[in-house]
Amino acid sequence: MSAASNPSWSEDRPDSSLTPEEQTAEGRLELLDRVIGLEQQLQELQAANLLTPTEAVAVERNLASMRSSLTWRAGRVVTLPVRVVRYVKRRVLG
């Protein structure tokens, strides 16, 4: 964060000025506040993506049943030529 893009509260008041120590302390408090906010955001994102073991087993079971269905297997057979061409294209062209 630059001082130009995020002015200090004391810059609005010409009668008050901060000492270098106070400016350093204010900067540290701003960084601490930012770190705490980022930690909270990280915890929220991690909690949103976690599945319970029961949910994970259910998802895996659903995926396995989908892949064993006739529709899935027929789709794989129909798209086989396209997948082969893509594979060869990646191998030949790099």
What would the pLDDT profile of 16-49 be if each residue is shown by its tens digit?
787 889 889 999 999 999 999 999 999 888 877 7
Spatial separation of the C-alpha atoms in residues 91 and 93, rounded to whole Å: 6
Burial state string for 2-32 with b = 16 or more CB within 10 A and e = fewer than 16: eeeeeeeeeeeeeeeeeeeeeeeeeeeeeee
What would the pLDDT profile of 46-83 be if each residue is shown by its tens digit?
877 777 889 889 999 999 999 999 999 999 999 999 99
pLDDT of amino acid 39: 94
Please check whether residue 51 is in contact with residue 59, taking contact to mean a CB–CB distance below 8 angstroms: yes
pTM score, whole prediction: 0.42
Name the range with the highest mean pLDDT among 1-5, 6-10, 35-39: 35-39
Spatial separation of the C-alpha atoms in residues 9 and 27, rounded to whole Å: 12
**What values do phi and psi take at 42, rounded to 5?**
-65, -45
